[in-house]
Every structure is written in C-alpha cells, then in structure tokens.
C-alpha cells in the first residue's frame, strides 16, 4: 500500500502519513490510530489501542500456524518484554507483533547493557537456528509482494541514514515507526509459506537495523530487545544466514560494551553454526567481529587468525550469491576495521599499513564511518609518534562528525583525547582538546 493510497483512506496527505511513519509527528491521538487501523484492515489492538482478549489460539488447518492473540503486557511484564525467546514459532511471531506495536510507547531506557540478557536467546538459536516454514491466517489483511518490497526499501533507507547521519537522527529512528505501523500489522495478517518466510526475514533485518541504531545512541537496554527480536524472527523465517548476521551484530554490541571474551565466543558461534549454509560475506563479517573481540583482549595470535580468515572469505565472494543487506561490507570496510584492530593491539605500523589499503569513502554518504575512521587514525598516528598528523586527522574527524548524531562516534574522539593527555603541555593539544570537547558535548 502506497503512502498516497493510505492517505486517501485515512483522510491525510501522503506527506502527513510519511511524517507519522517516520516519527516526525507523534502518533498518539486515539482517533487517528483508529483511522489507520480501519484503513489497514487490522484489529485496533494491533496499533496498541486496546488490550486484546485473553491469550489463545485458533486452529486454521494443516500447515497453517495457529493464530495467537497476545494480551497487552501488564506492568509487571514490561521489564521482560522483548527479551523473551519463545520456542514455538506462533508464540514468537505474536510476541514480536506485540513488542513492536508497544515499543514506541514503552521507552526501555532505564537500564544499561546486561550480557546475561543474551544468554538464553543465543543458546536457543544455537540449539535450533531454523524453524519449519509455515503459512499464517490471521485477522488482518493478506500480505503481498508489494508489502515485502516496502519493508526491504525501508531497511535500505534506514541503513543509509544510519551510516550518514547516525542512529540519533530521525531518519534512522523512523525504522521503529515502520516496524510499528507496517511490519507488526503484517505479522498478524495472512500469508503463504513463501511470503511468510520473506516477511519474517525482512522484519528481522528491520529489527536488527533498529537495534544497531539504538546501540549507536547508547540506548543499550532497548538495543538488546530489538536484537533479540531480530534473532527470533530470523529463526522463525528458517534463515540461518540472517540469524548468523544478527548474532554477529549482537557479538559486536557485546564487545563494545566491555565484554570482548563473550563477544568473541558469540561471533565464533555464529560462524560455526552457519558455515555450511551462509554466503562468504556473512561468514567473513563474523570472523571480522571475532578478530575485533580478540584484539580487545590483547590476543594478537587469535586476532591474526580470525582476520586472515575474514579476508580470505571476502576474496572468495562470487556475484549472484551475495545478500544485499550486507553489501556495505567490502575490503575497504575490512581494512578500516583492521586499522582499529591494530590500534587496539598497539601496533601502529600494522594499523597504518591496513589504513593504506582502505579506499576512500565519500564523507557525504558515510559521514559517521569516515569520521570514526579519522579519529581512529589520529590515535594511531599518536601511537606512531606523529603529533602533527594526529591533530590534523583529529580536526578533520571533528569537522565531519558535526553532522552526525552518534554518541558512539563521539566515543572515538574521547579515546583520542585520552591518548592526547600525555601531550597536554603542548598548546596545540590544549586548543584541540577545547574544540573537541565543545563538539562532542553538543551531541
């Protein structure tokens, strides 16, 4: 359904519908939500208007998943909402629909990262990474190929916005509105096995993008819930490749939050569980994140093995069997990450060599990545004893990151400032520190 069509059905302009979907206009008026529920031909409770009936199931015939209606969570259940990893596919899909239609009103920002929150989801995915595909006959409208195209396009747009503007920009955060207004109602709809598989895969990727955007802005409790939902939907889709990618993203989140050993285990597990079915680029990404985790522990030998395997897998990529949702992971991205890896190992010579292999990325498309890479490079220059070039790269990083809403990117500038403390007597360093603090404190 196009924005124009939805606008005609609800009485709003396409531009206003777009603002609602992107979160630029708050969608809290019950009458407005009622109009959207009627236009989308979905039960009102799918948009969070009212609790549904008590949880139950209604058989719809052989090879058709039972319809499960999930009650709006009571306050005592809010703390666990989104972190559950149900064994039954029907329950998992119902939980995901409930989660995404309520998450916009339940801002799970009170807690920080908890490594233990990933234990059960990861264990259950490793035990059974793929469910059997099923059709679904729900109370909503029939899901078609056009709906799937819209979801994939939304995921592409969100990834592009995330890379350019950061996870805190409204263009990135609008993916949560897409999950609430588009994906959640579709999950409760009717679809064939083939359409259902792709619907679940697309929703898993949207959930992963939402999770990574939350990581970028430091909302780690929320990020964990989004990523757990992504992993469960990937299993419901029977897609081990997407599941491995989501698990690798969870591994990256874990190591960035100060748990590199656990992050290495998760990345290695993603690789081992998917190595017979996943495309080389997906496996290469898992090995890269494993290398990053080992570097944080100071294990240079394990880092070298994982990084070499990642590079070899990327070299083996063939056209035709390559997931578009990971197209951004190229040799340039691997080289940029390898620069950071050797910075963490305090091997500036190797870091500079890898940086020399990384081709330039357009700053107007990949602002966050370019800014972070320059901040990393500035720290490497300092390790190498080149203060002048370090300050030059640091200044360029500040200029680029001005347009990015990303506390995670700012953290790389803070790491550079920490490394510059030993040079604090130099007036050039003092000037840079003052400018940098003004910039990153404004994020």
For the stretch 31-89, pLDDT in tens is 666 666 666 655 554 454 444 433 333 333 344 444 443 444 444 455 678 899 999 99
Task: Select the more confidently predicted residue: 138 or 374.
Answer: 374
What does the alpha-carbon distance between residue 186 and residue 198 come to, in Å, rounded to a whole number? 12
What's 42's DSSP letter? -
For residue 236, give the nearest of 53, 97, 51, 106 by alpha carbon. 97
| The pair of three-digit structure tokens given for residue 193, joined into one six-digit string | 């096995």
For residue 258, give the nearest of 197, 359, 172, 344 by alpha carbon. 344
Radius of gyration of the chain (CA): 23
For residue 123, give the nearest of 276, 12, 265, 27 by alpha carbon. 265
Does 145 score more than 50 pLDDT? yes
Per-residue pLDDT band for 388 (boundaries 50, 70, 90) equals very high
Does 21 score more than 90 pLDDT? no
Q: Where in the chain is the domain with CATH 1.25.40.10?
A: 240-359
Beta strand pairing status for 135-137 and 67-69? unpaired
Long-range contacts for 262-268 (Cβ within 8 Å, ≥24 apart)? 262/115, 263/289, 263/292, 263/293, 263/296, 264/290, 264/293, 264/294, 264/297, 264/302, 266/118, 266/122, 267/293
| Nearest 10 degrees: Cα torsion 425, 429, 434, 437 | -120
Buried-state track 234-260, b at ≥16 Cβ within 10 A, e below 16: bbbbbbbbbbbbbbbbbbbbbbbbebb
Task: Select the more confidently predicted residue: 428 or 158.
Answer: 428
* 3-class state of residue 2 by DSSP: coil
Query: What are the pLDDT digits (tens) for 308-319?
Result: 999 999 999 987
Task: Select the more confidently predicted residue: 282 or 4.
Answer: 282
What kind and span of H or E run contains 286? helix 280-297
- pLDDT at position 50: 42
Instruction: Judge whether 183 and 147 are in contact, CB under 8 Å.
Output: no
Does 12 score more than 80 pLDDT? no
Average pLDDT over residues 210-214: 94
For residue 257, give the nearest of 118, 372, 375 by alpha carbon. 118
For residue 180, give the nearest of 210, 138, 153, 159 by alpha carbon. 210
What does the alpha-carbon distance between residue 368 and residue 156 come to, in Å, rounded to a whole number? 17
- Integer angstrom CA distances of residue 20 from 9, 170, 189, 392, 419: 15, 12, 22, 42, 44
Does 240 score more than 50 pLDDT? yes
Contacts of 138 (CB under 8 A, 6+ apart): 67, 187, 188, 189, 190
For residue 238, give the nearest of 342, 130, 336 by alpha carbon. 130
For residue 181, give the nearest of 37, 379, 374 by alpha carbon. 37
Average pLDDT over residues 138-162: 90
Average pLDDT over residues 125-131: 96
| The pair of three-digit structure tokens given for residue 136, joined into one six-digit string | 């679904």
- pLDDT at position 162: 83
Q: How many percent of the chain have pLDDT more than 70? A: 81
Buried-state track 89-119, b at ≥16 Cβ within 10 A, e below 16: bbbbbbbbbbbbbbbbeeebeeeebebebbe
- pLDDT at position 104: 56
Strand partners, 67: 58
CATH topology of domain 240-359: 1.25.40
Does 134 score more than 90 pLDDT? no
* 3-class state of residue 135 by DSSP: strand
Beta strands in 308-398 (DSSP E): none
The CATH-assigned architecture of domain 362-443 is: Alpha Horseshoe (1.25)
């Amino acid at each position: 359904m196009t924005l124009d069509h939805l606008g005609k059905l609800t009485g709003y302009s396409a531009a206003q519908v777009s603002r609602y979907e992107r979160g630029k206009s708050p969608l809290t008026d019950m009458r407005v939500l009622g109009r959207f529920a009627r236009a989308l031909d979905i039960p009102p409770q799918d948009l969070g208007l009212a609790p549904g009936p008590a949880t139950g199931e209604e058989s719809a015939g052989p090879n058709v998943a039972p319809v499960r209606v999930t009650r709006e969570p009571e306050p005592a259940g809010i703390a666990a909402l989104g972190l559950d990893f149900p064994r039954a596919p029907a329950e998992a899909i119902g939980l995901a629909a409930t989660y995404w239609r309520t998450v916009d009103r339940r801002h799970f920002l009170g807690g920080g990262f908890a490594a233990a929150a990933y234990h059960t989801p990861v264990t259950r995915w490793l035990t059974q990474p793929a469910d059997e595909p099923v059709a679904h006959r729900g109370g909503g409208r029939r899901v078609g190929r056009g709906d799937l195209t819209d979801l994939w396009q939304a995921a592409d747009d969100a990834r592009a916005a995330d890379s350019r503007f950061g996870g805190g920009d409204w263009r990135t955060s609008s993916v949560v509105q897409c999950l609430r207004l588009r994906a959640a109602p579709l999950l409760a709809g009717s679809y064939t096995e083939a359409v259902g598989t792709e619907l679940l895969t697309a929703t898993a990727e949207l959930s992963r993008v939402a999770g990574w955007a939350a990581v970028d802005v430091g909302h780690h409790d929320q990020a964990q819930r989004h990523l757990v939902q992504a992993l469960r939907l990937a299993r419901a889709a029977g897609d081990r490749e997407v599941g491995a990618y989501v698990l690798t993203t969870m591994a990256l989140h874990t190591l960035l939050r100060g748990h590199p050993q656990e992050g290495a285990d998760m990345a290695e597990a993603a690789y081992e569980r998917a190595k017979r079915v996943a495309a080389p680029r997906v496996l290469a990404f898992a090995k890269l994140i494993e290398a990053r985790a080992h570097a944080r522990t100071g294990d240079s030998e394990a880092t070298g093995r994982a990084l070499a395997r990642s590079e070899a897998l990327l070299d083996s990529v063939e056209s035709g069997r390559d997931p578009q949702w990971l197209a951004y992971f190229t040799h340039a991205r691997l080289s940029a990450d390898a620069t950071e890896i050797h910075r963490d190992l305090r091997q500036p010579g190797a870091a500079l060599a890898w940086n020399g292999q990384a081709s330039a990325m357009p700053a107007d498309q990949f602002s966050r990545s370019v800014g972070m890479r320059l901040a990393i490079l500035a720290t490497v220059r300092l390790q190498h004893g080149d203060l002048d070039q370090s300050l030059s790269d640091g200044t360029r990083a500040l200029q680029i990151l001005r347009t990015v809403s990303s506390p995670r990117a700012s953290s790389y500038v803070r790491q550079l400032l920490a490394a510059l403390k030993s040079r604090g007597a130099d007036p050039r360093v003092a000037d840079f520190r003052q400018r940098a603090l003004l910039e990153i404190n404004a994020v």
